[in-house]
Amino acid sequence: MLQPYSWRRRDGGAAAHGFFNGRVLKESLGQALVTFFPVAGRLAQAQDESGRFEIDCNGQGVLFVEAETDVTISELGDFQPAPELMQLVPQVDFSKGISSFPLLLVQVTRFRCGGVCLGIGYQHAISDGKGFYNLLTAWSSLARGLSVATNLLPFLDRTILRSRSPPSPTWQHPEYCESIDEEQQTPPPSALSTSTRILSLSLDQIMRLKEKANSSTNGDDINRYYTTYEVLTAHIWRCVTVARSFADRNQPVTLHVTIDGRRRFEPALPPGYFGNCLFHAVVAASTAELASESLHRTAGRIRRAIRRSDDEYMRSSIDYLERAGGSTIRIPGISGSPHLKVISWAQLPFGQDFGWGDPIFVRPACSWEGSCLLLPKPRDEDGGLSFSICLEAAAMERFKGLLTTDDSTVLSTTTATSLPRLDSRL
C-alpha cells in the first residue's frame, strides 16, 4: 500500500510553528509501535520446508523521513495516482532481500504553500487495510495526546485462522491460480498506454442508479434491496467491459472483489485482529451478457459471489492454500487482461486528525491497469463516492462516455493539472 494524505493550512502561507511538528509525529509513532510492535520488525522466510514468510519482531524500527519542496499542493491538482506521487513516499532498496527494509515507510513533505503531505508505504504481509487503519488511528490519537481506544488494540494470535488438520478444502477456489500461463502474464508497463482518473458520483446520481437496480426486486434474500457497493460495482464493471470493445462478444470476463472476513467467520474475529483477513470473490460472465443484461441482474451476480464467502467457504480457502503449500498459488493477474478488480476503501475512515484537522485528500500513490479503488469520503461531503480507476487510454475515454450517457446518469470528473516533477526539489 502506497498512500499520500494531504493537508492544507487554513490560513495558507508558509508553515506555522507547530504545524505537523516532526517531533510530535515521531514520538507518537514510537508510542504506537510499542503496542503494534510487529510493524517495527522485518519479514523473514522460514527455514523449514514450507518456506513461508514470517514476521521477525526484532524491533529494528520503521523509516521516517522529512522533506521539503518548492511546489504548492494546488500544482498537484487532486492527487490523481501518477509516477510523480511516488516521490511523496520514501524509497528503499528492495534488491537486498525482504529482511533488509522496514515494513512501514513514512515521509512528511512540506509544500511552499504551507501544506503538508504524509506519504505512507505499508507492507500488506503484516496486515490488511483494516489493521493498517487501526494502527493509523492509534498513532493519530497519541499525537493528539489521547489514549488508544480499546477496540484498536491489536489482537495478535493468528492461530485462530490456522488451517484445519488435515487441510480439507470443500470448494473449488477460482479466485486463485496455481501457475502463471501466457494469458495471465502481466504485460510490461511500456506495452500499455494507460490512463488513471479519479471520478465522482454525487448522492443523487447514486440514488438513481440504486433505483434502477432495485426496480425488479421481489423481496427474496438474493433480490432484496441492493446496496450502494453492489450497485456501483456492477455499474462500473458493465461500463468497463463495454468500453474495452472486445472483438469477441462472448469473451469471458471476471470481476474480482475483496472481502473482509472478520465478521463473516463464526464466531466473528476480535475487532482488533491484526493480520490479513481479506478474501477474494470472483464473478464470471461474458461480454455479451454484461452488455445486454440489466443492472439489477449484474448486481445479483455480485451479491451471490459475496454471499458465498461464508465461514465454511473461507475455511475451505485457508485449507486450499495450506494444502497447496503456497509456492505456486497466487491471485490471477489483472493488468492487461479482460478482467477488473474492485477494492473498496469506502468504509474506512477518510483520514486521521493528528491534531491539525482532517486531510483534504486521501489517495493511492499508484495504480495498475484493470484496477478500481472506491475511496473513502470526507465527513462534510453529501454522501457521494469517488473512485480511482486505471484503464488503457482509449478504453478510459469510452468508459467515461458510457458512465455519462447511461440512462442520463451524469458522472462528474475532476481534472488535474499537469503534474510538476518533484525529484529535483525534494
What residues act catalytically? Answer: 124, 353
380 HSE (CA, 13 A, CB side)? 5
> Nearest CA to 345 among 315, 313, 326, 372?
372
- Contacts of residue 235, defined as CB under 8 A and 6 or more positions apart, other chains included, come to 209, 295, 298, 403, 406, 409
CA angle 211, 212, 213 (to 5 degrees): 95
SS3 316: helix
| DSSP state letters, 13-39 | SSPPTTTT-HHHHHHHHHHHHHHSGGG
Cis check for the bond before 166: say yes or no (omega within 30 of 0): yes
The strand order across the sheet containing 2-7 reads: 63-68, 104-110, 116-122, 2-7, 361-362
Across the chain, which distance is largest between two alpha carbons, in Å?
64
Burial class of residue 388 (count of CB atoms within 10 Å of its CB; 0-12, 13-18, 19+): buried
Dihedral sign, Cα of residue 225, residue 227, residue 228, residue 230: negative
d(CA 267, CA 316): 16
Q: Which helix (H) or strand (E) holds 323?
A: helix 311-324
SS3 404: helix
d(CA 19, CA 27): 15
> Nearest CA to 178 among 324, 58, 361, 314?
324
d(CA 229, CA 231): 6
**With left for phi above 0 and alpha for psi between -120 and 50, is residue 312 left, alpha or beta?**
alpha
Q: Show the cell assigned to 360.
A: 483534504
